[in-house]
């Protein structure tokens, strides 16, 4: 039975008049195109929506998909393959088409079911207990069917309490998203500046043409040469040199950590490619605390996965044990911003090499690091440029650490709010202090 607005706290079978639950459109490859609305798959859902590499569905054919396109207020659930990722469609989310890997939960009466409350309910224990009970009951081990989703029960507090819970947890998520956007901007700024100065040599080109380099202080501009010299890469700034990537940084490969099982009650989370991609140490595997300390990673370490999904990330998931297929990248000579940016410059090339491998898991080899050239300026330029790049990286780090704290607080508050162990007013005061 539908519940009336204002009723206190009721558990009921999901009523399709109040809550629509559907899955995505089964598009043929021939129906997809380079332009149109993103065709969202499970891989596009991870801490929000990421459509940079998504296929697209032509807008001219949208009549085919019917209700299977996003609306603000939809809760997205990866119900097939990679089960258990969630995202909330806001007014700012670009419209997209759902693939069959995704289910959408859509409140049809916002006076009864608050859309953002619904999102947080799906992160709660009540939803997970029901989803875990049915997952894998079909031939597909990782699959929660629409039928099973529609048979779930949902507990609704009063609408006023739904609004309060959505407001409390939403304030934390909004701050997390703001930090995430700030970090994207910081990364774009750093990459643009780095490419301009050390790849395209714009300050040197300007000085060679008799122009003042744009955007540089006089002190920094004076350090850049005003002419070029020949090298194996072609013209490079005079006095600069070409070195291999593995000569400006040390690449420490991780351990086969199955050989170092945990001993006793204390252990380290094993950091594999999945954890690196998620930015979280959460996973089933643990390793002994007695491994060589150089294989322990911590916040601020630069990690490069050289196999499978080739990624370069600055780690902010706390202490963990470095698994094989991952490099911890360090240098005793160059600042971290310098070799981090050069890794990003070469990443697409490395990904292409891995994609060409005729194996089940593409990878690069050590010699590819040696064959990746780096143009190294004078030590004075690096020292002075650090006053520009290091603050960007420092702000990125501070934002990332704050995000982890906010995510931890949200995870702690969510079950307390849904169980009633924490009063809403207390939670609001706590969130006001941090967000």
How do residues 37-73 score in pLDDT, each as one tens digit? Answer: 999 999 899 878 989 889 999 999 999 999 999 999 9
Distances 133 to 56, 129, 142, 154, 344 between C-alpha atoms, Å? 34, 6, 12, 15, 42
State the average pLDDT over residues 313-327: 96
pLDDT of residue 105 exceeding 90, the answer is: yes
Task: Give the residue, 342 or 307, on which the prediction is more confident.
Answer: 342
Q: What are phi and psi of 58, to 5 degrees?
A: -60, 135
Query: What local confidence, expressed as pLDDT, does residue 132 receive?
Result: 80
- Residue 358's pLDDT is 52
Distance CA 108, CA 106 (A): 6
The predicted structure's pLDDT at residue 261: 94
Any bridge partners for residue 304, and if so which? Answer: 312, 327
Distance CA 226, CA 393 (A): 29
Distance CA 352, CA 264 (A): 43
Q: What DSSP state is assigned to residue 113?
A: S
pLDDT category, 9, cuts 50, 70, 90? Answer: low
Tell me how many degrees the CA angle 151-155-158 measures, rounded to the nearest 5.
140
**Regarding the domain delimited by 10-156, which CATH topology (the fold level of the hierarchy) does it fall under?**
Adenine-n6-DNA-methyltransferase TaqI; Chain A, domain 2 (3.90.220)
- pLDDT surpasses 60 at 359: no
* Cβ–Cβ under 8 Å, residues 98 and 68: yes
Q: What is the CA radius of gyration of the chain?
A: 25
Quick one: pLDDT at residue 131?
Answer: 86
- For residue 246, give both structure tokens: 């593995």
pLDDT digits (tens, 9 = 90+) for 407-433: 999 999 999 999 888 899 899 998 988
Q: Do domains 10-156 and 246-376 have the same CATH topology?
A: yes
Are the C-beta atoms of residues 335 and 190 closer than 8 Å to each other?
no
C-alpha–C-alpha distance, residues 140 and 145, integer Å: 10
Q: What six digits make up the tokens of 105?
A: 């939960």
Q: How confident is the model at residue 139 (pLDDT cuts 50, 70, 90)?
A: very low
The rounded mean pLDDT for the chain is 91
Long-range contact pairs involving 115-120 (C-beta distance under 8 Å, separation at least 24)? 115/73, 115/74, 115/75, 115/88, 116/73, 116/88, 116/166, 116/169, 116/170, 117/162, 117/163, 117/165, 117/166, 118/19, 118/75, 119/75, 119/86, 119/88, 119/166, 120/165, 120/166, 120/169, 120/414, 120/418
Confidence of residue 140 (pLDDT cuts 50, 70, 90): very low
Provide the β-strand partners of residue 102.
Answer: 78
Residue ranges of the domains in the chain?
A: 10-156, 159-224+378-435, 246-376
pLDDT at 434: 83
Average pLDDT for 392-400: 96
Which tokens in the block code for residue 126? 């009540």
Could you say which architecture CATH assigns to the domain 246-376? Alpha-Beta Complex (3.90)
Query: What is the distance between the alpha carbons of residues 303 and 265, in angstroms, rounded to a whole number?
Result: 27
DSSP 273-319: HHHHHHT---SS-EE-TTS-GGGEE-TT-EEEE-BSS-EEEE--S-S
pLDDT digits (tens, 9 = 90+) for 217-275: 999 999 999 999 999 999 999 999 999 999 999 999 999 999 999 988 899 999 999 89
Strand 19-23 and strand 75-78: the pairing is unpaired
Beta bridge partners of 156: 10
Predicted confidence (pLDDT) at residue 102 exceeds the cutoff of 80: yes
First-last CA distance in the chain:
38
The string of pLDDT tens digits covering residues 152-183 is 999 899 999 999 999 999 999 999 999 999 99
pLDDT category at 333 given cuts 50, 70, 90 is very high
């Amino acid at each position: 039975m539908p519940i009336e607005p204002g009723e206190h706290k009721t558990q009921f079978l999901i009523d399709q008049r109040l809550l629509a639950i559907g899955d995505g459109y089964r598009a043929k490859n021939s129906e997809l195109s380079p332009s149109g609305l993103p065709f969202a798959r499970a891989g596009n859902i991870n801490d929000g929506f990421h459509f940079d590499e998504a296929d697209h569905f032509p807008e001219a054919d949208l009549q085919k998909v019917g209700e299977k396109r996003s609306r603000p207020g939809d809760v997205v659930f990866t119900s097939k393959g990679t089960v258990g990722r969630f995202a909330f469609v806001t007014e700012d989310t670009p419209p997209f088409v759902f693939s069959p890997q995704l289910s959408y939960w859509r409140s049809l009466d916002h006076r009864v079911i608050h859309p953002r409350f619904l999102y947080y309910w799906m992160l709660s224990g009540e939803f997970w207990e029901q989803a875990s009970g049915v997952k894998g009951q079909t031939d597909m081990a990782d699959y929660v069917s629409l039928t099973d989703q529609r048979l779930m029960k949902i507990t609704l507090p009063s609408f006023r309490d739904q609004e309060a819970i959505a407001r409390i947890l939403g304030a934390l998520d909004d701050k997390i998203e703001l930090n995430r956007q700030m970090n994207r901007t910081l990364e774009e700024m750093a990459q643009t500046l780095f490419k301009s100065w050390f790849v395209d040599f714009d300050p040197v080109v300007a000085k060679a043409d008799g122009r003042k380099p744009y955007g540089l202080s006089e002190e920094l501009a004076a350090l850049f040469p005003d002419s070029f010299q020949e090298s194996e890469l072609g013209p490079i700034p005079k006095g600069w040199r070409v070195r291999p990537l593995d000569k400006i940084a040390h690449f420490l490969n991780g351990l086969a950590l199955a050989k170092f099982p945990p001993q006793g009650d204390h252990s380290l989370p094993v950091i594999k490619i999945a954890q690196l991609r998620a930015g979280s140490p959460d996973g089933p595997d643990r390793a002994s605390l007695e491994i060589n300390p150089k294989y322990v990673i911590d916040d601020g370490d630069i990690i490069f996965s050289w196999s499978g999904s080739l990624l370069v990330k600055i780690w902010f998931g706390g202490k963990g044990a470095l698994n094989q297929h991952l490099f911890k990248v360090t240098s005793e000579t160059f600042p971290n911003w310098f070799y981090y940016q050069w890794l990003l410059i070469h990443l697409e090339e490395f990904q292409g090499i891995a994609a060409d491998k005729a194996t089940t898991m593409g990878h690069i080899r050590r010699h590819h690091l040696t064959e990746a050239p780096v143009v190294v300026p004078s030590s004075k330029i690096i020292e002075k440029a650090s006053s520009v790049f290091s603050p960007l990286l420092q702000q990125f780090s501070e934002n990332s650490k704050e995000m982890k704290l906010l995510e931890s607080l949200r995870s702690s508050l969510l079950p307390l709010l849904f169980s009633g162990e924490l009063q809403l007013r207390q939670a609001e005061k706590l969130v006001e202090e941090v967000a």
